[in-house]
Amino acid sequence: MSEPVPTRDHALATAGTEEAGGESTGTVVVAGLANLGIAIAKLVGGLISHSSAMLSEAAHSVADTITEVLLFIALKRGDKAPDARHPVGYGRETYFWALLACLATFTLGAGFSFYQGVETIVEGEEQGSPTAAYVVLAVSFVLEGASWLKAVRQVRSSAERWGTTPRRYLAETTDTTVKAVTFEDSAALVGLVLAALGLFLEQVTGDPVWDGVAAVLIGVLLLVVAGSLARANVSLLIGQSVAPALSDQLREELMGLPQVDDVPFLITSVIGPGQLIVSAKVDFADTATVADVERASDEAERRLVARHGGVRFVFLDPTPGDGRAQAARRPE
């Protein structure tokens, strides 16, 4: 899904882009500040209660804090203007930093949780006072919930703007920063419930295995989230195409030009959050003059940018319709 962004040569859709970019930055900043405070509180609660699940949650929040810092860098670095060496801009750098954020979640969050959980299951642990841990878990749930609600509101607002469902928006959006915050805050809320459940079962049964199992489950949860986000960022970093439905719309827009007979080959490539390149081989009418082709090419760019705000570059290659095209149409 392509977000509306300002293009290099057109002022269309600029306002909507600046609003979306600022909203993503605000979401990341709120989540980062919340996670920093929560990490400190969880660490204190874990040390007092001797709970491995609480310490795992502390590591989870530390990893999330580092993640938010990296996502903030991603937003700022990816927003740099194009230059001579990077003519299509720095948008894909966003996905590099976002991928590092996934690795932070994987190594710090999941790795520490697995270590704490297995150690507790094998060696046991001394039980401390659970009261402080319950208080920290309750406060953390409120703070994480506030951050999660902000992310969900942004997702719902963007989904409504694009006429789709929040679930589909999260699956297709190229803004992986808001996707990361939404996934991580959701995982944080589930992790808090797991930590509370493990602590409660340990308190009731007197068996620390439950606390260790909770820590391991938190690690599995973080592993799933990190893997899902990493897969999305790797795909976008390589150069992902847009959804087939949008690709078909772009082809139909070109086919709607009076000088165009066919568009046998069209490719799209995401070059950053809400930034898209469209390249196509176009079979122009045999009666079209050079001037007609030039006018049609200009109109094609204007039409695609006006109706699909994320399009930043449009490249058309005149192609004969006699079967001598160098590239056949690829399956969508």
Per residue in 188-209, pLDDT tens? 899 889 989 988 998 888 888 9
Q: What mean pLDDT value characterizes the chain? A: 81
The one-letter code for the residue type at 327 is A
Over residues 44-73, the mean pLDDT reads 79
- pLDDT given for residue 146 in this prediction: 83
- Whether residue 278 is predicted with pLDDT greater than 90 in this model: the reply is yes
Task: Look up residue 3 and give its two tokens.
Answer: 């977000």
Which of 113 and 60 is assigned the larger pLDDT? 113
pLDDT digits (tens, 9 = 90+) for 224-255: 988 988 998 999 988 888 888 888 989 999 99
C-alpha span between 254 and 266 (Å, rounded): 10
pLDDT of residue 42: 80
pLDDT over threshold 90, residue 217: yes
Q: Is 233 or 57 the better-scoring residue by pLDDT?
A: 233
Q: What is the pLDDT of residue 268?
A: 92
- Structure pTM? 0.73
Mean pLDDT within 144-166:
85
Residue 18, pLDDT above cutoff 50: no
Higher pLDDT, 316 or 22: 316
Portion of the chain with pLDDT greater than 90, in percent: 11
Percent of the chain with pLDDT over 70: 86
Give residue 21's pLDDT band: very low, low, confident or very high (50, 70, 90): low
Q: Which pLDDT band, with edges at 50, 70 and 90, does 13 fall under?
A: very low
Q: Which of 20-24, 54-58, 81-85, 324-328 has the highest mean pLDDT?
A: 81-85
